[in-house]
């Protein structure tokens, strides 16, 4: 892939190819993303190069030279996507988005409630309607308020919203359900969650948990699928700089990426949910406390203060300065500020990248690169043995024969899914010899075999395996 990326970059920079008179004219009919603009496509090649180079970290090559190559590739992509006429504004520039018109079948956004399927068999419908967010995501990362209270956790504060992270109101909608498992007679509208795969109990139904058809990627059938986001490029660069020892600079980049990730989803909210009771004096069009019928709104003053508290750990006082209207994040929720430049950690960086990469497949790549590092498996990363996802834990109710039987407690905690199972309907019929060569044929342990970039540090010297 590195060779292909380099060859493509050379071709994009060669006018004998890009300006050739016999080139076919490409319009939006053939190219729904860029309408045949090769300069914009060149940015995607740079971006993919940066993503591939990042897979050296932390297990293959964390040298200053390799980290600098990652920074350079990310910068090249960022700069390329901010040239010329900008499709999506000054910050997002010309990042590649596949836009959907909405309508029937494949005209609908892949993550939307329309759940489109290509040709009835070439793909699978999204399952966001049945998905339930995890405690790790809701409490530990987003920072729902009052995590120690079964009754209060998941409820909204009229000024501070649902969580330390304002994206809790942008990525999902709270729903009505029993107050607690022991009090089903009383109901509340709240953001509920579960430990992974633990089961919800007889008091609850899926419809009591958040509506996940929300946000820039999943909130509308005429939305868009992000092929590669500007936020990812910033986090790629930040991660490389972190490993180079430039922690404050990495923190600043992650913070900027996060601020704009909030803005990405906020722009969707404004478009999809205009407040019918808008008041100009308070500008109350921002995400607020949901009701049984759907989203709610709050004033700009409190939304902006909540964003500021999340990014800068600052509080909002009343006019007299005598009481706190919006608390600092270190005084509520998970009580953690993710952007402290004086004490910035790898965990801060990667957990914020995890949120910004919501519904993006590279989330899983990052988890595997860092060995699902958490307090339970005590998998320390780098010379400082940093724990990357401290409160992450394996799902409950795993299939014992594959994931539990015969393993010590230490082995269990370090046994995670590394690959997706091959398609038995086609691969076994047309590609059996290769499956057998790899040792994957009808072998469940193949799912536990790490990718070449996810072996223990030092075991693999090159991403090519040579």
User: What confidence tens digit (pLDDT) does each residue in 385-428 have?
Assistant: 999 999 999 999 999 999 999 999 999 999 999 999 998 888 99
Q: Which residue has tokens 């309607």? A: 129
Given a cut of 90, whether residue 68 has pLDDT beyond it is: yes
CA distance linking residue 453 with residue 62, whole number of Å: 12
CB 374 within 8 A of CB 414: no
What does the pLDDT look like over 208-239, one tens digit per residue? 999 999 999 999 999 999 999 999 999 999 99
DSSP state of 453: G
The pLDDT value recorded for residue 119 is 83
Pairing mode, strands 175-180 and 183-190: antiparallel
Average pLDDT, the chain: 96
Given a cut of 70, whether residue 356 has pLDDT beyond it is: yes
Q: What is the pTM of this model?
A: 0.96
Task: Render 19-73 in DSSP notation, one character per residue.
Answer: T-TTPPP--TTT-TTTTT-HHHHHHHHHHHHHHHHHTTTTTT---HHHHHHHHHH
Residue 318: band (very low, low, confident or very high) from pLDDT cuts 50, 70, 90: very high
What does the pLDDT look like over 245-272, one tens digit per residue? 999 999 999 999 999 999 999 999 999 9
Q: Which residue has tokens 């801060």? A: 348
Rg of the Cα trace of the chain?
Answer: 23
CA distance linking residue 256 with residue 444, whole number of Å: 42
Burial of 246 (0-12, 13-18, 19+ CB in 10 A): middle
The pLDDT value recorded for residue 466 is 63
CA distance linking residue 59 with residue 2, whole number of Å: 18
Positive or negative, the CA dihedral 343, 346, 347, 350 is positive
Give the least confident one: 19-28, 92-101, 391-400, 402-411: 19-28
End-to-end Cα spacing for the chain: 14
């Amino acid at each position: 892939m590195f060779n292909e990326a380099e060859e493509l970059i050379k071709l994009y920079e060669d006018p004998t190819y890009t300006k050739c008179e016999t080139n076919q004219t490409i319009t939006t009919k053939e190219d729904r993303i860029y309408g045949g603009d090769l300069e914009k496509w060149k940015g995607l090649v740079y971006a993919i190069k940066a993503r591939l180079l990042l897979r050296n970290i932390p297990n293959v090559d964390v040298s200053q030279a390799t980290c600098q190559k990652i920074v350079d590739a990310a910068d090249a992509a960022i700069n390329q996507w901010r040239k010329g006429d900008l499709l999506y504004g000054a910050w997002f520039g010309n990042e590649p988005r596949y836009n959907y018109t909405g309508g029937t079948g494949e005209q609908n956004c892949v993550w939307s409630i329309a759940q489109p399927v290509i040709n009835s068999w070439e793909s699978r419908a999204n399952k966001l309607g049945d998905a339930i967010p995890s405690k790790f995501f809701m409490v530990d990362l987003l920072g729902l308020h009052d995590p120690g209270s079964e009754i209060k956790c998941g409820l909204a504060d009229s000024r501070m919203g649902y969580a330390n992270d304002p994206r809790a109101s942008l990525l999902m909608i709270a729903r009505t359900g029993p107050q607690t498992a022991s009090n089903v007679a009383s109901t509340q509208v709240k953001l509920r969650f579960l430990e992974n795969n633990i089961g919800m109990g007889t008091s609850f139904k899926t419809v009591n948990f958040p509506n996940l058809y929300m946000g820039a990627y999943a909130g509308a059938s005429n939305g868009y699928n992000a092929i590669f986001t500007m936020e990812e490029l910033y986090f790629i660069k930040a991660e490389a700089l972190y490993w180079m020892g430039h922690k404050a600079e990495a923190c600043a980049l992650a913070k900027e990426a996060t601020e704009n990730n909030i803005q990405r989803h906020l722009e969707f909210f404004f478009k999809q949910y205009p407040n019918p009771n808008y008041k100009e004096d308070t500008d109350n069009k921002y995400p607020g406390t949901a009701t049984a019928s759907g989203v709610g709104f709050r004033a700009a003053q409190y939304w902006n203060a909540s964003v500021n508290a999340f990014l800068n750990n600052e509080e909002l006082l009343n006019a007299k300065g005598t009481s706190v209207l919006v608390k600092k994040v270190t005084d509520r929720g998970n009580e953690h500020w993710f952007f402290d430049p004086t004490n910035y950690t790898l965990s801060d960086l990667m957990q914020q990248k995890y949120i910004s990469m919501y519904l993006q497949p590279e989330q899983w790549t990052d988890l595997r690169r860092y060995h699902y590092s958490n307090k339970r498996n005590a998998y320390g990363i780098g010379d400082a043995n940093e724990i990357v996802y401290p409160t992450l834990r394996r799902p409950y109710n795993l299939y014992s024969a594959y994931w539990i039987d015969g393993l010590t407690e230490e082995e269990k905690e370090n046994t995670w899914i590394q690959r997706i199972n091959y398609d038995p309907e086609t691969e076994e019929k047309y590609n059996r010899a290769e499956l057998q060569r790899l040792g994957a044929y009808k072998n469940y342990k193949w799912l536990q075999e790490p990718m070449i970039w996810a072996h223990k540090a030092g075991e693999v010297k090159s991403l090519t395996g040579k």
